[in-house]
Structure 1
Amino acid sequence: MKKISSLVLLLMQVLYLRAQSDSVYLFAYFKNNGQDGLHLAYSHDGFKWSALKKDSSFLQPTVAKDKLMRDPCIIRGADGLFHMVWTVSWNDRGIGYASSKDLINWSEQRFIPVMMHEDSARNCWAPEITYDAKKQQYMIYWATTIKGKYPADPKVENGYNHRMYYVLTKDFKTFSKTKLLYDKGFNVIDASIVPNGKQFIMFLKDETREPVQKNIKIATSKKLNSGYSEASAPITGNYWAEGPTTLKINGTWIVYFDKYRDHKYGAVQSTDLKNWTDISDKISLPSGIRHGTILTISKAAFELLPK
């Protein structure tokens, strides 16, 4: 029995390494104000990233009044399509959506009016998508300030006081009613949720200005769309950080984030989600890269992308 178990373990390790070697990491991001649309970079190790298509746009934004494509989030769906959402404007009550089979040719862009029912909603920022395999549905979530709902000093950062909201969908055509996802009494944006065994991990930005936080924290839940814990202590250092996105490579978590005041990217890593080491000096990303998300694609899909 021990010999059989050892062979099974060896086979699993071989299959895992093969899957790793057949995969490429892809970083979807924007530049400047997001006016020219989607940019993509790739990496084989999670540390050195190179821009694709000479760092030109893969998709020009067409929806909403401002026609921006900020904070793009792409996931590979259970249907085999790449699904993308993004911020269309600094001040709008909906988000952008498009899908693609190959990351090159995209569907018609659509405006999803996730907060149009709230007349006092001021914005919809940094939407992301997470798939719930157990319930076979997607959750789209974002940060919104609803004027007067969570009072804030109008003299501090324009009186924004965000909370996280969400909708559920199975097909990106019909959506559940918008509901509150995360409210722990502080200004929160830029949530990014990933499954981890029997729980979900939310990496989030504490946007509190006074007393200043502006850092990345963690919350966990056994359910994708409810029950998240209080936020952890900061996992980032003495600088302002936002837009977390993650990879787990050989048992090590890497969280990338935008050091937006320093105009560069940073990263921290951990094996236990509790003790974090800054590895900002070990990563290399394209110049001018702004808030985005990482996904893993097959080597075959990567080979089709313009270099």
Structure 2
Amino acid sequence: MNTTELPDLKLLQLFDLLYDVRSVTRAAEQLGQSQPTVSIWLGRLREHLQDPLFIRTPGGMAPTPQADALIGPCREILESLRRFTAWEIAFDPATAKRRFRICMTDASHITLLPRMLAHVREHAPGIRLEAARIDGNTERALESGEADLAIGHVPWLGGGIYQQQLYMQDWICLANRRHPRLRAKLGLKQYRAESHVAITAGTGAQLLEQALTREHIERDVVLELPGFLGLGAIIRSTDLIATLPRHIGETLAEVNDLAIHTCPVPVDRFAVRQHWHARYHQEAGNRWLRAMVVQLFGNPT
């Protein structure tokens, strides 16, 4: 046997077929080739394996002892190649045992995570979710597989990161329903005059600050918060105003019985997207996770 070169795949397929049909003519028909071509392939295979492999007899092409010995390994190779070309690690959410780590903002802890958890507990009880921060380490975590997904407004993520838009966010203002000076529409003049809570973290906060600078508006900020924890209770118990993205704003308003006002400042809308690394684009578990997020929150308009 020539050990320096592997036989072509088509020669192994011919060997497998010829062993069953015992006829060069029938093998040629099933392979869609001419009989002379198949005869040439058989000659090359005989030369490669240094054995006649099949001997012409009145009953057809009879395999030699060498062919009998090689048919098993040949079929193992072909089956391995078939599994290789159709390879995909199975992921059944109903039975899978796995942890998914999702980078998200604290606003998403309030608006997205409860629905995700409810869906997972119903449809994938063996799955464990872990929420992590979006920060300067997020891109590296997605690349290494330390994190599976990032959800939010993260325009600074670099190359190799796929993204899919989920929904658009505009801006609203929240106030106490019994605010002593707010009975109807919140106008720009009153917005300037009132005292505010400012959320200082996140790219959304940067968009708001850019809009305030562009419109030459300086708010009377009496409280700064690094996130949304406790914001609803503060608005409910004071006469302060908060300006924040609609999704988290409407959620806090419903939970805390707050009044929602149209934001009088023209702040740029932004897209909330899910992000994942190209290394895991075809990975079955990651695909399931992304499909779940789209099912729960997808609304690209």
TM-score by length of 2: 0.20
Question: Computing the radius of gyration over CA atoms, which structure comes out larger, 1 or 2?
Answer: 2
Which is bigger in relative contact order (C-alpha 8 A, separation at least 6)? 2
Structure with greater helix share of residues: 2
